[in-house]
Structure 1
């Protein structure tokens, strides 16, 4: 019975996980990003890829944000917050904006702005530039 319960919990939590994709405006010059380049952008180690200035944004959906940090950035949420606290405190960088769904729709009207979303929230005005 214990094994059945554990198996059910595993399947259920796997099903609930979001399929994270990185999107940008359909007219953007960005066609594809690697996981490594996404990490560098979201950790503010670079701001340009292939000569294109890219503006990364964050969601205010904490569950999706934590999954993105764990799966793509390869950090836990505490490591990520600590990293950004040091950058902001020293005045070296400003943390990317955190947006709700409507603000995301507006922000992605700008070229070369990127955002991670749940694939089920995909919009026809966007294109996927990274999918795990």
Structure 2
């Protein structure tokens, strides 16, 4: 029984570690967006898409998608990302992307706003948004 439990835990951890995060935008967004541009947006280093349109970035409060996104795209752990933004907020140099409660809220927000960008588990993506990258 212990071996069965250990095997199940290993598989569960392995599957969750391989979850892909999709970066999504409104379908009307035609700007060129690559990993570097996404990182600059979420680190507050740019406030517009490549076509000059103001960007309205959203993320998630917590969860495996947050961890995967910060690690894969930003090269930071979730705690490093929070510390990064805490410093910018404290010094008055920036405001972090709004954190929404769940992935459906991110999808709904991005679908409703032409200037929006967000990230969700790639398995949760709907036809209401456009995927610009999977990480």
- Please give the TM-score of this superposition, normalised by the length of structure 1: 0.83
Q: Distance in 1 between matches of 2:27 and 2:130?
A: 5
1:99-128 Cα offsets, whole Å, 9 max, x none, are 123432431110020111111111111110
How far off is 1:63 after superposition? 2.1
Match of 1:110 among 101, 109, 113: 113
Q: Distance in 2 between matches of 1:56 and 1:29?
A: 16
Find the counterpart in structure 1 of residue 43 from structure 2.
Answer: 43
After superposition, residues 1-132 of structure 1 pair within 5 angstroms as 9=10, 11-17=11-17, 18-30=19-31, 32-50=32-50, 51-101=52-102, 102-108=104-110, 109-132=112-135
How far off is 1:12 after superposition? 4.0
Q: Report 1 or 2 for greater relative contact order, CA contacts < 8 Å, sequence distance ≥ 6.
A: 1
Say if 1:29 and 1:112, in contact at 8 Å, map to a contact too. no
Give 5+ residue unaligned stretches, structure 1. Answer: none
SS of the aligned residue for 1:98 comes to strand
- Please give the TM-score of this superposition, normalised by the length of structure 2: 0.81
Corresponding residue pairs, total: 126
1:36-75 Cα offsets, whole Å, 9 max, x none, are 1111100001112322221111112422111111111101
Q: Which has the higher strand share?
A: 1
Q: Distance in 2 between matches of 1:68 and 1:106?
A: 19
